[in-house]
Amino acid sequence: MALLQSGDGEFNQLLQIDLGIPLNLIIFPAYGKTFVGYNSRSQGFSDEVHLGGEIGIKFFNKVWLTGRLNLLRSTKNGTLDATTANGSLFANNIEYTNLDLGFAYYINKKIGLSYDYGSAINGRVIAAAPSHSVGLFIDIK
């Protein structure tokens, strides 16, 4: 019989600050965002520092191209083994730098389709397979 774990038993408290600004790059609407956060974790897991940024450029009033950089760094202040988390499938002291490229297309003024490709460009104690995301969105502004 296999045991399916649904969590690692810890409690997370992520305090994060996000800042963004609209931009105009020549004739194209654009934006830039950045964030910094601190994730306080319990049960012997190390706390984490989250950092990142994003930029987007709009073309033809229908298409957004985006790029994101996300960094996760461990403070290495936990007591669990870094690679096995004492037998749990949830590892401790995970660190990575992730790069994401995205594309969004407005079908009409409110509804659109999106595609994102992300991959870790470096990491420690992670599974580093690339990810693909496809979505349908509604713009509520």
Mean pLDDT of 93-109: 94
Question: Which of 29-33, 77-81, 118-122 is most confident?
Answer: 29-33
What is the model's pLDDT at position 87?
46
CB 45 within 8 A of CB 13: no
Q: What tokens appear for 2 in the block?
A: 């296999």
Cα gap 84→92, rounded to integer Å: 7
Cα gap 20→32, rounded to integer Å: 6
Each domain of the chain, given as residue ranges in start order, spans 12-130
CB 37 within 8 A of CB 15: yes
The DSSP symbol for 107 reads S
Q: Angle CA(28)–CA(117)–CA(96) in degrees, nearest 5?
A: 110
pLDDT tens column, 14-36: 999 999 999 998 899 999 999 99
